[in-house]
Chains A and B, each alone.
Chain A
Amino acid sequence: MLKEELTIIIKELLPDAVIEEAGEWLNISLESNEFKQAALQLRNFNQMPFDFLFCLTCVDWKTHFTMVYHLRSKKTNDNIVIKVKLNRETPQIDTVSDIWRTAEFHEREVFDLFGIIFLQHPDLRRLFLTDDWVGYPLRKDYDDPINMIKL
């Protein structure tokens, strides 16, 4: 499906979303408080259910975080990207692990490496790092004087 057509469909479903067509895939920016509802709507969208979450990650922009969700509809093979801005002081967002089960581990990874809190996550534990790890290594301001050699 053309991005223009997809934009019209998504715009109808999510009137509050800000949609960009510039990238490879359609970018949909959402506020964190309306994110969970929108995610549910996309998952249960009859015309093209976005039933496959194929990437979940986070970006540290130093001033804020952006959660990035890549979704695919197996019915129409269309991809979309959802971006949600989070503030740096209290990075919290609703979990989507109840919508897409795969998110359970992905969110644990992001929690481990970025320190994002996923509200209502069933099992928010560390995934990779040791239990006594201090700090969040993928944050831009992370510093580890023992293991890291700065360029």
Chain B
Amino acid sequence: MVTTENNTNQEFPGQIHETTGGGIVLSKLDDVINWARSNSLWPLTFATSCCGIEMMAVASAKYDFSRFGFEVARATPRQADVIIIAGTIVNKMAPVLKRLYDQMADPKYVIAMGACAISGGPFFYNTYSVVKGADHVIPVDVYIPGCPPRPEALLHALISLQDKIKMGMTREQIKQSV
């Protein structure tokens, strides 16, 4: 039997009832949809500074986030499900980021990668041009600290995002449950 309680597993959500000559799977449609969504999250090719190099490393052969369903990076927001904010967001970039997010089709998810995307990072003080955290512009699902984060940290964030999606709750519900 496959449980939906342990969200970290990659198995199909539902119960298998053995019958002669095969079996029946019982599941909730919502769970199946979330399972499917979480295992096919296409990231947007979006990188504004050095975290982008790390993100490219995670996308390439050695770390390879395709293994977890982040199959191909899309160069258009209309085909992307998740935007990884890899780098500093400056005031001039903020409206562009907002527009990219608006152009993404629902459901859409946001990962803030690195110190700059979380809070402005090294540019928090005495800078006139940097947005102090990408969550001032668009809502963020998962934050990864680091400058830049290790590739393993990004993979962990991606898997955490999958867990969140499999929980089947909205951002607000997750916030209230914590």
Contact = CB atoms under 8 A, between A and B. Distances in A.
Q: Do A and B come from one complex?
A: yes
Interface of A: 128, 130, 137, 142, 144, 147-151
B129 A137 contact: yes
Nearest 3 A/B pairs, CB to CB: A151-B125, A137-B128, A144-B128
B129 A151 contact: no
Interface string B64-95: 00000000000000000000000000011000
B125 A149 contact: yes
A130 B125 CA distance: 21
Nearest to A130: B92
Contacts of A130: 92
B134 to A, nearest CB: 15
A148 B128 contact: yes
Interface of B: 91-92, 124-129, 132
Contacts of B128: 137, 142, 144, 147-148
Contacts of B92: 128, 130
Contacts of B126: 148-151
A147 B91 contact: yes
B58 to A, nearest CB: 31
Nearest to B125: A151
Contacts of A144: 128
A148 B123 CA distance: 10
A144 B91 CA distance: 13
A70 B132 CA distance: 34
11 contacts: A128-B92, A137-B129, A142-B128, A147-B91, A147-B128, A147-B129, A148-B126, A148-B128, A149-B124, A150-B125, A150-B126
A149 B129 contact: no
Contacts of A149: 124-126, 132
Contacts of A128: 92
A150 B128 CA distance: 10
Contacts of A151: 125-126
